Amino acid sequence: MLKTPKLPLTLKLPLIMVALTAVFLVTVSSLVYKMAEADIRKSTYFSYETAANASQKAVEARMAEMRKDMVRNADLATVFRTMNNFNREFAKLAGKTEPVAYLHEHYLTKNPGKGLASAELSDPDDGSYYSQMHISYHSAFVQSRDLGRYRNIYLFNAEGRMVYSVVKETDFVQDFSAGGFAETALGKAYNQAINSAPREVSVTDIAPYEPSGDAAVGFMAVPIYKKGKDTPFGVMAVQFEASQLQALMQENLEPGSGQDIYLVSQDGVARTASTIEGEFDAGSVLPMTEAVEAAIADQSGLLENAVSAVGGSVIAVTTPVAAEGFSWTLVLETDRSAAMEAVNKIRNMALLLIGAAVVLATGISWIAASRVTKPIIALSGATNALADGDYISEIRGKKRGDELGDLARAMTSFRDKLKAADEATVREAEAARKTADVVEKMSDALSQLEKGNLVCDIQEPFASHYEALRQNFNRSLLNLRGSMGNVVESSLNVGRYADEQKASATDMADRTESQANTLEETATAIQDLTAGVRATAESAAKVDQTMRGTREEAERSNEVVTSAVKAMDEIQTASDEISQIINLIDDIAFQTNLLALNAGVEAARAGTAGAGFAVVASEVRALAQRASTAAGQIKELTTASEHHVANGVSMVGRAGDALTSIIEQVTAVSGLVTEIADGVQTQSSGLENINDAMAQLDMVTQQNTAMAEEASAASQLLQDEAQSLSGIVSRFQLPGTPMGAGSMGAEPGYLRRA
């Protein structure tokens, strides 16, 4: 264990405070610096990764946008119609002159604008039908190029001839199916697209393109199909610039940061130029650095100690780009010294602050320790003086506002209390003697009071401080004697009144019990009467209900009779119709008989030839005769039925009249029964109310009886308590009476014993 030398507190305390402060500051500052450095590194690396990811998303979004735009344009009828018209006019032009030379002369040689500015020419004013088509469609394609942010837009026919382009360059209206132009990046894009399925986009990677002045560009192409055809009608292609992708990536970098961001394909070729001027261009083969190797392997990550393409120390971030048709990896390189500049500044600043803090803390600690040790030494001397009984020496530091000031003030208060305690010791001894004398006399008086002696007044005066106690005790005895005399007199009165109340309560209990028995019998009789009336009311209600059912059944019977009468009328009507039909059948039988007779006459005239017909006529006559006979029988039966039906209708009518009379009488009887039932119900309700009132009265009477019995019992208890009270107060001694003396016949001024 480390031992400190025997140094005075005035030196030891400042040294300890300075040492602790220095160690604390150095330790905390070192930890803060380490944490800050790690946090800055993490934040810096995260910002680089965020910038790289944002640039990656921007490139992916741009490539996806162009691909979607190509597919959408391939489905437009306007594009097909434009290509068809240019193809037709180019073919017409080829029939008159050499079309490539002719169009180059008017759209390239005589064009006032060169390069991208050549797109401003819409009408070369040569009067050809091709130029008329160019005037019609060129402005729309210029607008499409600007909206899509392309460098150029091309239209090819199925034979590989470029029939139109927005920007007129040396490849304008050339043949891309074979020859030198077929080997260019645009020719490869065309040849891929012409052999592709509908809506399939073909691409060629970014590289310098000679007709565009060796600008680093890439191409996308899509076949154009005629509706209902299986072979492509032509190809539409667009040209996009590497500088556009480079600008998209640079938007996520801090200006002036010196960072380099570019795209690398898996063959190790830079597809966009370095953002640091002079390092490399698009299409350059890059050296095999760690970042390029990660790009070739299609890996993403952060390389803290990488080497740039020109050999500098950098922090590199690689992330693959998901662009269909392209195998790109985005590389973001940051110069290591620039990236760590903030960390170095913080380290230097931290060291400077630590040194300044240690020096400042040393001075402050020394001053603070000195201000603490001096008052402690002074308090130590004051404590020793108090220990020796010196109450005069001054205690310094009482005006301080810290804990030492509190200690000085507490010691001053302690000194004053010690001094006052010595002075109070003498006074307390004298007061104790006087108190002991008072306590002895009061103890004797209270002992007498405990024995029941109420004339034990203290006659000898006490000391001035205790005189009030003696006077209060004597007055309390005087009041107690007066109260006890009143209690004795009251106990005699209570006994006498209790006897009277007990006799009255006993008489009232007897009379109330008799009244309760009478009310109970009356209530029982009324309850039986109420039950009988209620049963009568219920019977009347049942009779009323039965009469109502009888009336309803009679009304339903009346309806049945009415229906029967109606049915009889319908039967009679049907019988009349049957009679008419039978008459018609009889007439038909008669006519048939006549016809059969005529037929027999004619058959007889015909001789042998009509013999068979005569037999038929004879049979027909016989059949007509039987039909006439049956019709007559049916008519007789129908006539009898009509007679019976008429009798039935008459009988049913009389039955209906009788039922109507019965219904009226039943209705009258039902009304009378209903009135009787209502009256009985009303009487039952009244009797129930009377029964309830009697029950209530019976309950109240029973309660009164119970209360009378309780009052009688309470009177007995009151008399017992009065006798007990007389026995209790007889134990006390009043003036002129010896303790325990007195009886029920003693004088009024004395206690009486029950």
Secondary-structure percent of the chain, ordered helix, strand, coil, rounded to 5: 70, 10, 20
> Residue 392 — pLDDT band, cuts 50, 70, 90?
low
Q: Which residues contact 521 (CB under 8 A, 6 or more apart)?
A: none
> Residue 100 — pLDDT band, cuts 50, 70, 90?
very high
253 vs 108 pLDDT, higher one: 108
Can you give the residue ranges of every domain in the chain?
75-232, 253-339, 391-441, 468-729
Of 412-426, 555-569, 585-599, 648-662, minimum mean pLDDT range: 412-426
**Is the model's pLDDT at 742 over the cut of 70?**
no
**Quick one: 98 exposed, middle or buried, by C-beta within 10 A (0-12, 13-18, 19+)?**
exposed
Nearest to 511 by CA among 707, 714, 717: 707
**Is the model's pLDDT at 753 over the cut of 50?**
no
**Is the model's pLDDT at 588 over the cut of 50?**
yes
Q: Give pLDDT tens digits for 665-675.
A: 777 777 777 77
**Is the model's pLDDT at 436 over the cut of 60?**
yes
> Residue 745 — pLDDT band, cuts 50, 70, 90?
very low
> Residue 237 — pLDDT band, cuts 50, 70, 90?
very high
Q: Which residues contact 697 (CB under 8 A, 6 or more apart)?
A: 519, 523
Question: Rg (Cα) of the chain, in Å, rounded?
Answer: 69
Note the pLDDT of residue 156.
97
Q: Give pLDDT tens digits for 418-434.
A: 666 666 776 777 777 77
Candidates 1.20.1070.10, 3.40.50.970, 3.40.50.720, 3.30.450.20; CATH matching 253-339 = 3.30.450.20
Q: What is the largest CA-CA distance in the chain?
A: 192
Q: What is the mean pLDDT of residues 407-411?
A: 70
Q: Which fold has domain 468-729?
A: Helix Hairpins (1.10.287)
Note the pLDDT of residue 615.
77
> Residue 175 — pLDDT band, cuts 50, 70, 90?
very high
**Is the model's pLDDT at 548 over the cut of 50?**
yes
Pairing, β 301-307 against β 313-321: antiparallel
**Is the model's pLDDT at 364 over the cut of 80?**
no
> Residue 750 — pLDDT band, cuts 50, 70, 90?
very low
- Tell me, what amino acid is at 485? G
**H or E element: which one contains 152?**
strand 152-157
**Is the model's pLDDT at 376 over the cut of 50?**
yes
Note the pLDDT of residue 12.
67
> Residue 381 — pLDDT band, cuts 50, 70, 90?
low
Find the helix packing angle between 403-450 and 467-606, rounded to 10°.
100
- One DSSP character per residue, 15-66 reads HHHHHHHHHHHHHHHHHHHHHHHHHHHHHHHHHHHHHHHHHHHHHHHHHHHH
533 vs 135 pLDDT, higher one: 135
What CA–CA distance (Å, rounded) separates 125 from 328?
A: 45
Q: What is the mean pLDDT of residues 288-313?
A: 88
Report the b/e string of 111-148 with b at 16+ CB within 10 A: beeeeeebbebeebeeebebbebbeebbeebbebbeee
Note the pLDDT of residue 748.
40
Note the pLDDT of residue 754.
28
> Residue 380 — pLDDT band, cuts 50, 70, 90?
low
> Residue 744 — pLDDT band, cuts 50, 70, 90?
very low
Average pLDDT of the chain is: 79
Note the pLDDT of residue 506.
74
**Is the model's pLDDT at 120 over the cut of 90?**
yes
Cα torsion 185, 186, 189, 193 to 10°: value is -170
Q: What is the mean pLDDT of residues 462-487?
A: 78
Of 22-31, 49-58, 366-375, 573-582, minimum mean pLDDT range: 366-375
